[in-house]
Amino acid sequence: MSLSRRIARPLIAVGIIYAAQGVLRDPAQAVPRAKKVTDRVVPLARKAGVPLPDDTATLVRLNAAAQVTGALALATGRGPRLGASVITASLLPTTVAGHSFWNETDPAAKKAQSIAFFKNLSLFGAMLIVSGDTDGKPGVAWRARRAAKDARRQSKHLATSARREARLAKARVA
């Protein structure tokens, strides 16, 4: 792992862990804001077959636990792409529910929420990049394309060999 990854990943993760552990310990502050989103998302998720609890506090804690777990995976380098993907998925409801600056009427609160919203948007983009970072190694998509290319080349070679063997067999019979 490169030095920049070794330093950057824990630095990214520490902010996520700090915020999420606070919500894990005391979700009461986040519940009223999250309720607006969970009331819409939970019925849709259930229609899709995803079993989610009704309790908003439980959902807020699950989201925070997912963020802590993803951040720990990112910070330790054990599954950083998966951890970044989990964080990316959990940031969407967090950002929409927790930082809806468009609903604020107080200018100071609107400014604070817009800063937090765009900070999370930046973090979302960073996690998208990290979730695709292969650390200089070939990714799954590249390996799949390479395997398909190798299979095509091998099949052409086998077809050519089979035609040659068929011609030789025909020549021996005749």
Q: Return the domain boundaries, the chain.
A: 3-137, 138-174
- State residue 66's pLDDT score: 95
For residues 22-56, one letter each, b for 16 or more C-beta atoms within 10 angstroms of the residue's C-beta and e for the rest, the string is ebbeebeebbebbeebbeebbeeeeeeeeeeeeeb
- Interval 73-117: pLDDT, tens: 999 989 899 999 999 999 988 898 888 888 888 999 999 999 999
pTM of the model: 0.72
For the chain, list residues with pLDDT below 50.
Answer: none
**Residue partners of 120: CB distance under 8 A and separation at least 6:** 91, 94, 95, 98, 99
